[in-house]
Amino acid sequence: MSIIAEENKATKITARWAVNVTDWRPTHEQYTLALNSIQTEERERILRFRLEQDQKSSLIGRLLLRWLFHTVYRVDWEAIRFGRSANNKPILISPEVNYTHNSGLLSDPKIDFNISHHGDWVVLVSIENFIENRKQNLNVIGVDVMKIEVPNEPISQFFEIFRDQFSEYEYNTIKPPNLSEKEQLQRFYRYWCLKESYVKAIGVGLNMKLSDIEFRLADDELVDDGEDIKSIKTKTQLYVINEPCPEWKFEESYLDQSHCVAIAYYYKQKKIHKSGDDAVTARNTVVGDDDDETLPFKVLDVNDILQYAKEIS
Ligand SMILES: CC(C)(COP(=O)(O)OP(=O)(O)OC[C@H]1O[C@@H](n2cnc3c(N)ncnc32)[C@H](O)[C@@H]1OP(=O)(O)O)[C@@H](O)C(=O)NCCC(=O)NCCS
């Protein structure tokens, strides 16, 4: 069995899903079914977590991954098999992904996905990409959700602890005197989510100097109240060791008053070869930018997913 993915778009975000962990209060039977519906090694890993919240969050993440390939790519629940990269990023092992090539494009398609859990939320994002340059394995996506918590120590001391993770520019913009402590904390977590989403997209885990990854925010404060809680910011720019990376896009938003989330993805323009050397570069049909296809996270209910889940032996 193989997956047939959509071919007419160079880059497409196929899922932005969120589940509220605290809202899921499973019966014993539901919890057992959920645990039995994921791969054995993941089940064993999850059962080693001491805290129920950690178990539930990680379990929901695994169910969301299966739900993605079951509903979006129509794969039988039991046929889906995940592994992990050398740095632990979850990857699809089987089935293989086959793409239809009706336009004759030289493409190197790939589906990528990522999970994050913190506080009350688990999120999953996924992307389909058609990258012309096979040498660049950058068809990737990452996500990070953070609960904004007031630290125990004074806020300036708290920022100081993480000083080394930020560039000079970032650190100075976290705590200007015109921002209230709440706003400073919001900005701190905004940067945190951005950095993590990028690190998770490229899958390097902790093996990267975080202060080398610098984000420059447009003049669009991400705030957690009023109507603005629904807004999605897409103008933040990435610089890696002072070099701009315009091909990287970010979507930042709030899931509720105390949880911010960032998605990072590599955004490639698609080359359409009309004939011979008459080639044109088409605007990508995605996501972010001016296309207005940037969508909010869709909140899912775990019990709905469990209706379709199958036990895996
Ligand atoms: C593991 C890490 C990739 C993310 O960890 P995290 O932010 O604590 O946790 P999240 O909930 O966002 O992500 C965890 C999920 O990411 C996925 N993941 C694990 N390793 C990954 C990697 N190398 N790349 C991408 N995703 C990864 C997994 O699905 C994992 O969940 P699971 O183990 O239950 O399946 C790593 O980057 C980390 O620990 N970062 C924290 C470092 C830090 O100090 N950051 C400061 C920012 S200013």
Q: What spacing in Å lies between the alpha carbon of 239 and ligand 1's midpoint? A: 21
Residue 120 pairs in a beta bridge with none
Give the rounded percent of residues in the chain with a pLDDT score beyond 70: 78
Determine the distance separating the centroid of ligand 1 and the alpha carbon of 200, expressed in angstroms.
Answer: 7
Q: Which of 45, 115, 124, 215 to mutate to test the pocket of ligand 1 (most atoms within 8 A of CB)?
A: 115
The predicted-structure confidence for 67-78, as pLDDT tens digits, reads as follows: 999 999 889 999
What is the Å distance from ligand 1's center to 129 Cα?
22
CATH superfamily of 1-110+292-313: 4'-phosphopantetheinyl transferase domain (3.90.470.20)
Mean of all residue pLDDT scores within the chain: 84
Tell me: the pLDDT tens digits for 147-167? 999 999 999 999 999 999 999
Q: How far is the CA of 117 from the centre of ligand 1 (A)?
A: 9
Distance CA 90, CA 83 (A): 6
Secondary element (H or E) of residue 229: none
Beta-carbon contacts of residue 206 (< 8 Å; ≥ 6 apart): 199
For residue 128, name the pLDDT band (cuts at 50, 70, 90).
Answer: confident
CATH superfamily of 140-267: 4'-phosphopantetheinyl transferase domain (3.90.470.20)
Strands of 187-303, DSSP E: 213-216, 237-240, 243-244, 248-256, 259-266, 270-275, 278-282, 298-299
140-267 matches 1-110+292-313 in CATH topology: yes
| SS3 (DSSP) at 145 | strand
- Tell me the per-residue pLDDT of 19-47, one tens digit each, with 9 for 90 and over: 999 999 999 999 999 999 999 999 999 99
Q: Which residues approach ligand 1 with their CB closer than 6 A? A: 58, 61, 87-90, 114-118, 142, 144, 162, 165, 192, 195-196, 199-200, 203, 205-206, 210
Terminal-residue alpha carbon distance, the chain: 19
Q: Which atom belonging to ligand 1 lies closest to the Cα atom of 145?
A: 12
Please state at what angle helix 28-36 crosses helix 52-67, rounded to 10 degrees: 60
Q: What is the pLDDT of residues 195-206, one digit of tens each?
A: 999 999 999 877
Q: Where are the domains of the chain?
A: 1-110+292-313, 140-267
Work out the burial of residue 135: count CB atoms within 10 Å of its CB; fewer than 13 is exposed, 13-18 middle, 19 or more buried: exposed
Q: How far is CA 244 from CA 27, 139, 209, 221, in A?
A: 50, 18, 17, 21
